[in-house]
Structure 1
Amino acid sequence: MNFSILVCDDSTVARKQVVRCLNECIEADIMQAKNGKEALMLLQEHCFDLVCLDLTMPEVDGVQVLEAIKMQKIECFVLVISADIQAQMKQRVAKLGAIDFINKPIDKSKLNEILHKFGIH
């Protein structure tokens, strides 16, 4: 059975890069959301093993998505992929349940290392 992954980023280019890296690292069923609002709708309709989540998005940002996942007790790993590399933000998303944080642009070897660390392979 393939892992189910949701990639959420308001940048089409960033989503494509993440999907390409994921496809090189793991065999998975990958869906995409162009913002946090769309991600939350997909999380209600589907079960995902992993959510790759940008933080800075219009309407509903990544922190709000993490808060909703925690509040609604949605079972999935969340990997934050963002250019917002402030230590405060890393601590905040970790408290909300993110398993790790990857800086943009995504590093495939770092992604692969995190996937293996959490048994997603």
Structure 2
Amino acid sequence: MAKKLQTVLIVDDSPISRKMLKSCFPKEREFQFHEAGDGLQALNLYRELKPDLVTLDLTMPVMDGFTALAEIRAFDPEAMVIVCTADVQDKSLQEVTDKGAFMILAKPPSKGSVLEALTRVEESA
């Protein structure tokens, strides 16, 4: 049976990007959103909340998304992380895949791409 996601941690240094991504989630579902502006905040919030899903930007101050992904997965090897980035270089995509990202969502996100990602995550659980 597919797991229904409830708690989502959105990690991006841009408040506008976080708001835009949040607006792409289905309105009829009751998600509990938490936000972080850098990878270190994300890691601390992940440890505290253990959310069902993390969306993670790569280019951020303090701790970048590559490092945050590795740290989150080291803390919880089952962590469900979707990298949401405009960095679509093969090297970057391969690195986040190697570090355990479930999938990569290109920026800017759309309602359709977010719904597809949510469906894939829930079906994999």
Instruction: Normalising by structure 1, report the TM-score.
Output: 0.90
**Aligned partner letter, 2:107:** K
Q: Which runs of 4+ in 1 moved over 4 A?
A: none
**Aligned partner letter, 1:18:** L
Task: Please tell me whether the aligned partners of residues 40 and 62 of structure 2 are also in contact (alpha carbons under 8 angstroms).
Answer: yes
Deviation at 1:74, TM superposition (A): 5.0
Counterpart in the other structure of 2:36: 33
2:26 aligned with 1:52, yes or no?
A: no
Q: Sequence identity, in percent?
A: 35
Q: Decide whether aligned partners of structure 1 residues 2 and 85 sit closer, same or farther in structure 2, where only a CA change above 3 A counts.
A: closer
Deviation at 1:30, TM superposition (A): 0.6
* C-alpha distance in structure 2 between counterparts of 1:61 and 1:20, whole Å: 24
Counterpart in the other structure of 1:102: 105
Task: Please tell me whether the aligned partners of residues 85 and 103 of structure 1 are also in contact (alpha carbons under 8 angstroms).
Answer: yes
The alignment's C-alpha RMSD in Å is: 1.7
* C-alpha distance in structure 1 between counterparts of 2:73 and 2:36, whole Å: 19
Which of 13, 17, 21 is the equivalent residue of 1:18?
21
Unaligned 5+ residue runs, structure 1? none
**Aligned partner letter, 2:12:** D
Question: Aligned pairs, how many?
Answer: 120
**Aligned partner letter, 1:27:** E
Task: Please tell me whether the aligned partners of residues 55 and 61 of structure 1 are also in contact (alpha carbons under 8 angstroms).
Answer: yes
* C-alpha distance in structure 2 between counterparts of 1:117 and 1:71, whole Å: 23
* C-alpha distance in structure 2 between counterparts of 1:94 and 1:26, whole Å: 28
